[in-house]
Amino acid sequence: MSTIFEIAFNRNRNSNYKRGGRKISALGKLFGGGIPKYVAYYSKAQQSYSAGQYQNSLDLINRTIELSDIDDWKQYAFKASVLEDLKDYKGAIENYEKAIDINSDDINVYALYHQIGFCYLSLVNDQKAADFYGYAINLKGKHPNTEMNPDQEGMDLGVMLGVPFKRMYNNRANAYKNLGKLNEAAEDCKKSLSFDKNYSNPYLMLSQIYSKAGQEDKAVEYLKVAAQLGNNSAISTLKQIGLL
């Protein structure tokens, strides 16, 4: 049976990546400090990223990868995040794929599948977006989420480690909505709300779904709920149509 990786990327995993413990070579050391050069470049890349200096961060992470003595999935995931912010979504997808391949444990990098979904959504490839959101949802459902292997929802130093179910279902609903699969989109919104009934985004999405279905009364109803929960987009839309 094919793995999610093989289905998602239509290929087998690459066996040529350098994995394992680090070997700090003389080339990789800073003068007099004994610290690998790539460590310094990586730290500077993260600092630049935090400061919103994305092009400089990209240059630094490229240097990090060049000097690193193993293939580190987090370095490629970080580079993908930078490319995302630079709106180079194709480049981001390529680097997320490398990061997933290097890590080799799809369950622990399900968030990267989700980010590929986001990139495809940004490229207006809604079917691919829905597919990758689906892979991420599937993998998260298998995550052990134990004390020794927690499901860490959120980002750490530019690397997406985990994403809440409610957000993933809402995002897939957006892709389904764009594809005209309105029933599937509405079901994903309801699934999202099953995790958090006060999450405003699914109500906004339901408003858009019902509007697309020509049911404007229901659309306004859900739009008002989203606004009551503080959703700025919903508030802005209600103001524009004179209902707030």
Of 237, 212, 241, 213, the closest CA to residue 223 belongs to 237
Residue 66 falls inside a structural domain? no
Residue 217 falls inside a structural domain? yes
Gap between the Cα atoms of 221 and 75, Å rounded: 45
**CATH code at 215?**
1.25.40.10
Structure tokens at 160: 């997406």
Residue 11 falls inside a structural domain? no
Residue 13 falls inside a structural domain? no
Gap between the Cα atoms of 70 and 17, Å rounded: 8
Residue 87 falls inside a structural domain? no
For 29, phi then psi, to 5°, come to -100, 150
Residue 225 falls inside a structural domain? yes
Q: Which domain covers residue 234, as residue numbers?
A: 166-244
Residue 26 falls inside a structural domain? no
Digit-by-digit pLDDT tens for the chain (244 residues) are 789 999 999 999 999 998 765 555 544 444 445 678 899 999 999 999 999 999 999 999 999 999 998 999 999 999 999 999 999 999 999 999 999 999 999 999 999 999 999 999 999 999 999 999 999 999 999 999 999 999 999 999 999 999 999 999 999 999 999 999 999 999 999 999 999 999 999 999 999 999 999 999 999 999 999 999 999 999 999 999 999 8
Amino acid 34: pLDDT:
63
Amino acid 124: pLDDT:
98
Amino acid 1: pLDDT:
78
User: Number of folded domains in the chain?
Assistant: 1
Q: Which 3 state secondary structure label does DSSP give 243?
A: coil
Amino acid 31: pLDDT:
45
Residue type, 79: K
Gap between the Cα atoms of 95 and 235, Å rounded: 37
Residue 31 falls inside a structural domain? no
Gap between the Cα atoms of 9 and 53, Å rounded: 31
